Homo-oligomer: A and B are copies of this chain.
Amino acid sequence: MSQGAEDPAIAKLFAVLLAGEYAAFYRLIDESRMAPDVPSGIAIARMAASEIQHFDHLAARLEGTDIDVADAVTRYRSVFDQYHRATTPKTWYEALVKAYVGDGLASDFYSELAGALPESAQAVVAEVMSQTGSSAFAREQVRAAVAADPSLKSPLTLWGRRLLGEAITHAQWVLAAEEEVTDLLFEGATSLQGVAKFFDAVAELHATRMSDLGLG
């Protein structure tokens, strides 16, 4: 049994995250079709490749547990696919905001979660998170576009709010369906308080991120 996945609830959490990385890979690939030029195509390809690195880190931790990697994807991907369908970008800038905000939200979720985990599982989360940051290209492109054409600001700000709303809604569905995971993460606090604080923290970080983009 691999280090960090000895607790069935942790293994289940890793399984959910792994399905999210899989869904994110195939979503990025779909959205890469909108890339207007080669540098954007390279940047999106690198982001997609880093989702697979995250996936592989998590998959390695499921080895020796009774969770099969492909089964985990099959079981948990639908909520992520629903999120992506609900937030299909219509323009390249929407795709960029989604890439940047999505990468950031994922990283916030990971880091807020980490505090609730035993040390060995924290290491896995830290490993996965250390490889994000490939979405910086998206931030630079959006900032430049908004500076050059201020009429982009208001619709992209609304878009960013919608991304946050959908992310929280879909995360709540996961928590509602997976009691073991919820108990693992929000044990100690009375559950509702813990969950509410968690989403408040995520919303605050999101607001900072929107400012980084020149939005909000």
Chain A residues at the B interface, C-beta cutoff of 8 Å:
22, 25-26, 29, 32, 37-39, 41-42, 45-46, 48-49, 52-53, 55-56, 69-70, 73-74
Contact = CB atoms under 8 A, between A and B. Distances in A.
Given A38-B74, A39-B70, 8 more contacts: A22-B45, A26-B32, A29-B29, A29-B32, A42-B69, A48-B49, A49-B52, A49-B53
Contacts of A74: 38
A38 B15 CA distance: 14
Contacts of A49: 48-49, 52-53
A45 B52 CA distance: 7
A41 B32 CA distance: 18
Q: Which of A22, A42, A56, A69 has the most CB of B within 10 A?
A: A42
18 contacts: A22-B38, A22-B42, A22-B45, A26-B32, A26-B41, A26-B45, A29-B32, A38-B73, A38-B74, A42-B55, A42-B70, A45-B52, A45-B55, A46-B56, A48-B48, A48-B49, A48-B52, A49-B49
A45 to B, nearest CB: 5
What is the oligomeric copy number? 2
Contacts of A25: 45
A26 B74 CA distance: 24
Contacts of A52: 45-46, 48-49
Most chain B CB atoms below 10 A, which of A41, A48, A49, A74: A49
A180 to B, nearest CB: 23
A41 B73 CA distance: 10
Nearest to A43: B70
A45 B37 CA distance: 22
Contacts of A22: 38, 41-42, 45
A95 B64 CA distance: 31
Contacts of A69: 42
